[in-house]
Structure formats: C-alpha cells, structure tokens
Amino acid sequence: MTQAIKDPRSAALTAALIPHTWDVVVIGGGATGLGAAVEAATRGYRVLLLEGHDYAKGTSSRSTKLVHGGVRYLAQGNVSLVREALRERGLLRRNAPHLVHDLEFVVPAYDWWAEPFYGIGLKIYDVLAGKLSLGSSKLLGKEAALDKVSTLQPDGLKGGVLYHDGQFDDSRLAVTLLRTFEDHGGVALNYAQVTGLLKDGDKVVGVVWKDTETGETHEARAKAVVNATGVWVDDIRRMEKADAKSMLSPSQGAHIVVDKKFLPGNAAIMIPRTDDGRVLFAVPWHDHVVIGTTDTAVPEANFEPRALPEEVDFILRTAGKYMNPAPTRDDVQSVYAGLRPLVKPADDADTKAISRDHTIVVSDGGLITVTGGKWTTYRRMGEDTVNRAEKVAELPERLTVTPGLHLHGWSEEDRPDHWKVYGTDAGRIQQLAGADKTLHPALPYTEAEVRWAAREEQARSVEDVLARRTRALLLNAQASAEVAPRVAELLAEELGHDAAWQAEQVKAYRDLAAGYQL
C-alpha cells in the first residue's frame, strides 16, 4: 500500500465530525443540493452537504448538456418558466464562462409552414431573454441551413430557423459548485449516506449518516435540514413519516453519443416535434455528438438506469430522418439514461407534458424538500430553498449574492475544449506529473487529470474519474473500460490503496461501462 499524497475527503470528514449545530445540512450532491449549499454558504451560514454516492452520480451527470430556456415549455404556454430559465441561463453564462457557452441551433423546415411558425415562436424566445439574450434568431434559406449544418438531410429541405441557447458540461459544473462551496467555507462529503433523521419530539433537528467507506455511523445536528435528493426525495421524506405519499412521477431520458462526423460544424440541430410529440436534439459536445432525448415513464428510481432498446431505436430512427448520413447502432460509442424528478400532477398527464418547474415542500417537522426543476434553474432553486430555510429555522435573513457570483475557476480564456472546463485550475493541472501522457488515443484526458481529481475534487473511485471528473464513459465507453487499470493504478498511488483494491475497481468499472455500450 502506498502513502496517499493528499486526500481532500479526510479533511472534510474531520470538519464534518466537529461537534456543533450546523445552520443548514443539505442532503444530496446533485444540481439542486449543490445549488442550495452554495446559496447558504455564500450567505454566511455554516453548511454541511452529505452525498450518499458521488456528486452528480444520478440525474445531474446525465442531461442533454444544454443550459436552456425550454423551447418546448414555450409551446406549452408556460411563459413564466421560460422567462425565469432564460434569465438563469444568462446569469450562468456570466458566472461560469469556462463551463457555459453560446451554441447555435438550427430548426430544419421540411414543410412550407414550419419556418414562419417556428420563427415566430423563437422571436418570442428572444424577447423573453431580454438583456441576457445570447443572440437573435433568424430565418435561413436552404443553402444557409446546409452551410450551418452540412449533414442535414437535403431532400425536401425548405430552410430553417437559427436560434441561440447555452451548452455546458453537467458533472463538471457540479464539481465546480463543490469547489465554490468549499471556497466559501462549506463542508461537503461524498459517500456519506443519510440513513435517518434526528428528531426532538416531532421536529427534525438533524441527520444520521453512514460513512460508506468506513462503515461508521455519525450524527449531524442542524437548524435546517434540506432534502435535495432528486428522484429519491420520497425515501428521505419517509424517514420522517413512513406513510408519506410519493411526490414524484419519474421519467427517463435516454441519449446516444456518436462521432463528430455526423455533425461536423459548430451548430446543433433541434427537431421540434417528433412522431410522438417530443423534442429531439443533436448537439456537438467535446468533439462528439449527443443525440436525445426520450421521455419514458418509469415505475421506480434506479441508480444506473438503462436506455430501453425501443428508446435507442426511436432516437436512431428520428435522427435518420433529418441527418445524412444517418447514424446506426454500429456508430454508437456510448448510450446513457437519466431520470427526471417530475412532480406528480393532479391528473394522469403524460410525462412529456409535465412542467419542469421546481417544488418546495416543508413537512410538519420542518424538513425542507426541494425537487423538480432542471440544471438551468439550479441557482434559483437554491435561492428559493434557502429563503424558505431562513423562515423555517428562524435564521437571520440575508440577501442572496449568487446572481453575480463568479464560480470557482472563473475564466474567459479561450483554451482547447477539454482543458477549458477547469478554468484557472487548468494551468495547475498541467504542472502535475503525467500532463503529457494521454490515457487513450480515443480520449483527450491525461494522467495528470486523474491525480488532480483525487487531490482536489474528492474522486474516490475509477468510476468517479471516468464518468464524472472526466467524461470518458459518455464519450467512448469501450475506450474508458480499456484505461480503467491505469486509472486505478494512479488512484491507488494518490489515495494509498493496494493491488486488491485496484483489481476490484477495474472489475466494477468494466461491469458498469458494459451497460453504456449497445
């Protein structure tokens, strides 16, 4: 066993175990929990965040990689949600330019009415964005549309509409929020599973949690407890009240990832209405193309949801109508699925028609549950949640600072794509051993990034590194499986593990990666 160089989790664990009452304990380290934690810490509260697995392990690393106002919500008439999301999109672009950038989208028109119809809708989208607009939409003729997206199916193409939205790297934003939270004095632990709630009479006054690395159980007392566990919020709610009714109707969204040749330019495709009324995107991302998504109701939440065969077929069939050449199953380098925490409607509405607006519920005992929403509005969700926590826990009311808060690593420097997500940290990573050693010819990542993930970003496993600190699993699942032994070796050096741990990690990761391949 080698001596660990630096283990950021051990320092966080020490801080988490200091006996005192926290102002806020946040359960859940996805977009919503991290947003609430950053909001609370930047208001000066003492905050502990506990994540049962890894940051962004669930829904928050499995998005369509868009920071968007929600064109489909505009079609549903939900103008207030679109306006709020467009404002948040603009703020996030300002606060994290190293992670969020403007992306042009082409809506192809194959019917005579499509251009004016979608053109008018997207002009409304522009107006709602106001001063935080990323750019104006415009009509395109056939040649102009093909200039933007050379792989559009030319047969029958009348033209299209160009509009702007944001793009980002979801799990890298999660890690950036973790670092921002720590920068402002917050304490965060992954692999810290909440197993129960502490109560004083009927009042929730803290949590019981288990360190899944050591098996030890601890308690954390708090003035306010926030349940931000996404599709698992009902599990936490039932720790307080065993017969609590389910709030959620989970929906699964599947995506496939293919080679850049299917979308060689810098613009994305938005198909506004598929055969069954969904929206489908084909988006350039890290020199690959993400195509999705689906909207399939699922009976229960699963930590490793799998795309159904019919979902993959639907994506390929729909993409094939609009892309030339059309991707096939043989072209899929990775396939992934995520679960959306949709709040149950009063009726039996179709999941693709349920609003993505967020919901905050306070129990009789004071447990604050926040769910719904989407990555784009994570900051507003955090603000609303902490506003509620101030009232529930009688904390001193303080104004939010997050609308103008530069996130960790803030940088407008134009770096090569794969280094850009680190912002100002990129230079420090490039000074580490292995910065010149690429892990795999099919992947952009270096050995130095594995060391950095262990030292600075609480990466604990091969999966943490290849799925979320880097995006190797989503870009090329097979290539990521091939580099698992070297990543395990590097992590063992950094964290002080032996050969048996490495072998176990490689097997576990390869089993996982097999589920991301067709």
Distance CA 211, CA 194 (A): 9
Q: How far is CA 56 from CA 172, 378, 471, in A?
A: 9, 13, 12
Both structure tokens of 111: 């019917």
Distance CA 270, CA 164 (A): 11
Percentage of the chain surpassing pLDDT 90? 81
pLDDT in tens, 75-102: 777 788 889 999 999 999 999 999 999 9
Confidence label for 70 from pLDDT (cuts 50, 70 and 90):
confident
Distance CA 440, CA 449 (A): 13
pLDDT in tens, 269-325: 999 888 777 889 999 999 999 999 888 888 888 889 999 999 999 999 999 999 999
Nearest to 64, CA basis, from 275, 271, 289: 289
Q: How far is CA 36 from CA 137, 180, 281, 308, in A?
A: 33, 12, 29, 33
The confidence score (pLDDT) of residue 6 equals: 64
The confidence score (pLDDT) of residue 4 equals: 52
Any bridge partners for residue 270, and if so which?
A: 281
Residues 6+ apart with CB under 8 A from 313: none
Nearest to 105, CA basis, from 258, 327, 274, 282: 282
**24 close to 41: Cβ distance less than 8 angstroms:** no
The confidence score (pLDDT) of residue 7 equals: 78
Distance CA 117, CA 112 (A): 9
Q: What is the 3-state secondary structure (H, E, C) of 35-69?
A: HHHHHHHHCCCCEEEECCCCCCCCHHHCCCCEECC
Residues 6+ apart with CB under 8 A from 255: 62, 64, 290, 291, 292, 293, 307, 315, 335, 336, 337
pLDDT in tens, 356-412: 578 999 999 999 999 998 999 999 999 999 999 999 999 999 999 999 999 999 999
Residue 235 has pLDDT above 60, yes or no: yes
Distance CA 132, CA 438 (A): 38
Nearest to 9, CA basis, from 485, 468, 477, 460: 460
pLDDT in tens, 321-356: 999 999 999 999 999 999 999 887 654 444 454 445
The confidence score (pLDDT) of residue 239 equals: 97
Q: Are strands 280-285 and 288-292 parallel, antiparallel or unpaired?
A: antiparallel
Enter the DSSP assignment of 343.
B
- Least reliable range by pLDDT among 57-66, 409-418, 501-510: 409-418
Q: Which domains does the chain have, with CATH numbers?
A: 8-59+172-245+353-404 (3.50.50.60), 100-166+249-344 (3.30.9.10), 417-514 (1.10.8.870)
- Least reliable range by pLDDT among 13-22, 65-74, 434-443, 489-498: 65-74
Q: How many CA atoms lie within 13 A of 13 on its CB side?
A: 17
Segment 432-443 shows an average pLDDT of: 97
